């Protein structure tokens, strides 16, 4: 038999990734060298690198001169990186991930301007723009160098410093996407000043999440500074962003960066949040939905005697003090059937058995593989009645 | 200044990949356990895995019962993997990579059948189908488990055992794609028997290529067996496929699997081949174009005194004995301007300085960063006049 003559061939290899997240203020100011030094350091003999810049339209309200500021910034850098003729300005928010025409306009720009694998796409904006542009960068020429400049709390401390991208397809969130680390990230704190209160607040949900599952000291710090954070203290917020980004990045680098396994520890509070975002037609911000999801899973953790009562009280108090609502009527809609469906969808999303992260204490997470629906229901009722 | 207070955060990690290429014959025969054992070995507690099978329509000419054979094969395997209701049959060849509708029909199937990240897409066919299906698998849910069953010499010894996928966009070959290793590959030698002579032959170009740049002994073996290979000896072909696949996989695993750098040693003979395929509107098979490209770069290597005359003669003789033409009129068209343009496009494709692999001897490759157009022109003229 022929099949006996040829042994199987095994291929085993490790692919190295490396990127740096920089923290700065007013990145496109002529006196700020953070970004220019990056391009100078990337210079290679004999190559001409181009850069296509994509800017979130929403930024222009508070930064009307942003496009011309970007152009001026790159003027002296021609021998290191050349901007394309156009800077693209596209509307941000979830809608940009829904419309295939926006995706296509970006791919066309990559083609038109001859952006090759060693050139750059620089995305400036919130999480949705970064997801979309990251996806375009990942699949064009099998991967163009992506530089992210996240401009919201959520993208600076969570999604923008991670390794995922994606767009929606036929209404399915992140149905198309990939794991593709950026080559560099620049968190510009100045952009946070012009966020509206909802965006300022909702980005903090992921910081509370990562504190709850990984770092009690960070939780204590957020507790002590809750009032200042709510009142838009930029120094405190910078510390929160830096610490959350660090915990998030450490988790990725030390864990399973491309999520080959089924465990998803960073998804604490997220199963209900995903469903709520969908049920509210995304009128809830991601962080607002995550805050409710964390309240629910903390309350559930308490009710199944995982989480001590004192810890549960502190968690719910902190979420309220930051300014989050901890209940939404959609949780109970249809005798909670929609919520239960959310559990099932989360299991399908994981592609294996149900795995839900709960809390044994502040900073102590533990996975479970089943959820008691009666207890879950009573936890929802508690949130409705008390919060 | 705020930027002074927060140090940059570095993320450095290695992502592990592992897959096995199996060699078998008549893979869907009820008595062949090669594929079923793979699925049994992948079984995980508490999960239900599905599989969407996509078959190259061209295979049905010689294997009219293939779809029902596949169905029967999976019947006893329900507790390990469940086939979706439909098996998809799509036309193969380069056209399937050009038509966005074909791509969309596959993504829709992933959605419709609820294929999740831990389920499978099994692609059965030639290189184009594998590229297309691999791309769909890579970007759906950020990556579905891909099983390749390559059915041509070229895909069994080269593209199908590697880590790339892609589709064409607006006529640009592989403009969209990614690096995404499969979870397993099954080379079924029986499919090779029904290839037409051109496909049988053209797949051998990549074996000669990898021998020329990496393995003189393999070149000697191909020389000694050229007549049998041309005359469709399946045993000899199996050895050629196995050896070529091994060299190709070793190169990927030990080198730069996701091609972060600019060096592309496996692209010997390919810069002219890419241009010729395009100029002939893909009427030349990839391997036929690569054979001409290798003849050209060997002749050039000889003319710039890299390659000894004896080695050059043996290379050109072997290519001819296998049955390749070593010249195409498109090489000279427009006073060779199109060919020169191909060099420039290849440089742009690499995204840096021009890097062309030439030969110092059989099995000894060496990169150069410039090509003398007069010498190149004389090499083309030699091929036209002598071959």
pLDDT at residue A5, rounded to an integer = 64
Q: Which of A177, A195, A213 is the last residue of a domain?
A: A195
- Please check whether residue A74 lies inside any domain of the structure: yes
What is the maximum span of chain A, computed from C-alpha positions, in angstroms?
A: 76
Token digits of residue A173 = 């969130």
- CA-CA distance, A336 to A193, in Å (whole number)? 39
Answer for the pair A347, A353: CB distance below 8 angstroms, yes or no: yes
Query: How large is the average pLDDT for residues A12-19?
Result: 97
Contact state of A352 with B22 under an 8 Å Cβ cutoff: no
Query: Does any CB of chain B come closer than 8 Å to the CB of residue A373?
Result: no
- Which CATH number covers residue A116? 3.40.50.1970
What's the DSSP call for residue A327? -
Q: Is the pLDDT of residue A44 over 90?
A: no
Residue A274: phi and psi, rounded to 5, are -55, -45
Residue A277 lies in a domain: yes
Determine, yes or no, domain membership for B111: yes
pLDDT tens readout for residues B361-379: 999 999 999 999 999 999 9
Q: Does A14 touch chain B (CB under 8 A)?
A: yes
CB distance B177–A238 less than 8 Å? no
- The Cα–Cα gap between B346 and B200 comes to 28
How is residue B334 annotated by DSSP? Answer: G
B196: left (phi over 0), alpha (psi -120 to 50) or beta: beta
Q: Which pLDDT score is estimated for A2?
A: 45
Burial of B312 (0-12, 13-18, 19+ CB in 10 A): buried
Question: CB distance from A269 to chain B under 8 Å?
Answer: no
Within 13 Å, how many C-alpha atoms sit on residue B275's CB side? 25
Same domain (yes/no): A304, A275 = yes
Q: Which two tokens stand for residue A81?
A: 């990186």
Residue ranges of chain B with pLDDT lower than 70? 1-5, 46, 352
DSSP B335: G
- State the DSSP code for A87: P
Q: Domain check: are B381 and B310 in the same one? A: yes
Chain B hits for A46, CB-CB cut-off 8 Å, are 352-353, 369
Report pLDDT for A4. Answer: 52
B324 and B364 inside one domain: yes
User: Are A230 and A372 part of one and the same domain?
Assistant: yes
**pLDDT number for residue A43:** 87
> What one-character DSSP code corresponds to residue B207?
H
Q: For residue A261, what pLDDT is reported?
A: 84
Over the stretch B332-349, which tens digit does the pLDDT of each residue have?
999 999 999 999 888 877
Q: What is the pLDDT of residue A172?
A: 86
Q: Which domain holds residue B371?
A: 198-386
CB–CB contact B254 A13 (8 Å)? yes
pLDDT at residue A273, as a whole number = 96
**Top-confidence residue, A278 or B291:** B291
Last residue of a domain, one of B195, B229, B247: B195
**Which of B150, B112, B144, B113 shows the shortest CA–CA distance to B130?**
B150
Using CA atoms, how far residue B172 sits from A114, B175, B258, B293, B349, in Å, is 12, 6, 20, 20, 11
Considering the domain boundaries, does residue B3 fall inside one?
A: no
Helical (H) or strand (E) element with B56: strand B50-56
Percent with pLDDT over 90 in chain A: 88
Q: Is the pLDDT of residue A175 over 50?
A: yes
Q: How far is B372 from chain A (nearest CA, A)?
A: 18
Looking at the fold, whether A186 and A241 belong to one and the same domain comes out as no
A107: tokens are: 């791919």
Asked if the structure places residue A8 within a domain, the reply is no
Q: What is the pLDDT of residue B265?
A: 76
* Pair B203, B310 in one domain: yes
On whether the CB atoms of residues A122 and A147 are closer than 8 A, the answer is yes
CA distances to A129, B138, B186, B263 from A273, in Å: 21, 26, 41, 45
Q: Are residues A303 and A166 in the same domain?
A: no
Residue A12 falls inside a structural domain: no
Q: Are residues A157 and A257 in the same domain?
A: no
Domain boundary among A155, A171, A195: A195
The rounded distance, in Å, linking the Cα atoms of A159 and B347 is: 34
Identify the bridge partners of residue A22 per DSSP, sorted by sequence position: A186
Say how many domains are in chain A.
2
Q: What mean pLDDT is predicted for residues A359-387?
A: 95
Q: What is the mean pLDDT of chain A?
A: 94
Together in a domain, B188 and B204:
no
Question: For residue B140, what are the β-bridge partners?
Answer: A176
Do residues B356 and B367 lie in contact, with contact meaning Cβ atoms separated by under 8 Å? yes
pLDDT at B5 (0 to 100): 65
Do B181 and B304 lie in one domain? The reply is: no
Is residue A101 included in any domain, yes or no? yes
Question: Which of B11, B25, B108 comes nearest A3 by C-beta?
Answer: B25
Q: Is residue B8 part of a domain?
A: no
Q: Each residue of B60-69: pLDDT tens digit?
A: 999 999 999 9
Residue A250 CB partners (closer than 8 Å, separation 6+): none
How far apart CA B387 and CA B383 sit, in angstroms, is: 5
Per DSSP, what are the bridge partners of residue A122?
A: A53, A147
Helix, strand or coil, per DSSP, at residue A36: helix
């Amino acid at each position: 038999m022929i099949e006996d003559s040829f042994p199987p061939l095994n291929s085993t290899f490790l692919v190295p990734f490396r990127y740096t997240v920089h923290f700065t203020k007013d990145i496109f100011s002529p006196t700020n060298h953070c970004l220019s030094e990056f391009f100078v350091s990337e210079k290679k003999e004999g190559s001409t690198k181009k850069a296509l810049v994509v800017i979130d339209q929403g930024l222009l309200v508070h930064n009307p001169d942003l496009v011309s500021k970007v152009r001026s910034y790159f003027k002296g850098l021609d021998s290191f990186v050349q901007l394309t003729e156009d800077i693209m300005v596209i509307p941000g928010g979830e809608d940009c991930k829904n419309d295939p025409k926006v995706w296509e306009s970006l791919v066309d720009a990559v083609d038109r301007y001859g952006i090759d694998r060693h050139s750059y796409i620089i995305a400036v904006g919130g999480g949705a723009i970064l997801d979309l542009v990251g996806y375009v960068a990942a699949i064009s020429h099998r991967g163009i160098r992506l530089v992210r400049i996240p401009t919201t709390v959520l993208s600076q401390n969570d999604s923008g410093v991670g390794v995922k991208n994606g767009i929606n397809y036929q209404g399915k969130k992140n149905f198309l996407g990939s794991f593709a680390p950026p080559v560099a990230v620049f968190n510009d704190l100045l952009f946070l000043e012009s966020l509206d209160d909802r965006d300022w607040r909702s980005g903090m949900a992921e910081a509370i999440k990562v504190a709850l599952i990984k770092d009690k000291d960070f939780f204590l710090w957020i507790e002590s500074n809750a009032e200042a954070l709510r009142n838009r203290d930029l120094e405190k917020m910078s510390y929160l962003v830096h610490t959350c980004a660090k915990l998030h990045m450490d988790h990725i680098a030390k864990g399973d960066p491309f999520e080959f396994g089924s465990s998803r520890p960073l998804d604490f509070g997220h199963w209900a949040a995903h469903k709520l975002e969908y049920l509210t037609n995304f009128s809830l911000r991601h962080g607002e939905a995550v805050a409710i999801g964390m309240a629910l899973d903390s309350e559930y953790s308490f009710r199944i005697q995982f989480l001590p009562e004192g810890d549960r009280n502190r968690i719910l108090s902190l979420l309220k003090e930051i300014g989050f609502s901890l209940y939404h009527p959609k949780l109970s809609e249809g005798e909670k059937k929609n919520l239960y469906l959310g559990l099932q969808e989360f299991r399908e999303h994981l592609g294996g058995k149900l795995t839900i992260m709960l809390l044994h204490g502040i900073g102590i997470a533990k996975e479970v593989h089943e959820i008691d629906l009666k207890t879950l229901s009573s936890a929802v009722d508690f949130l409705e009645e008390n919060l």
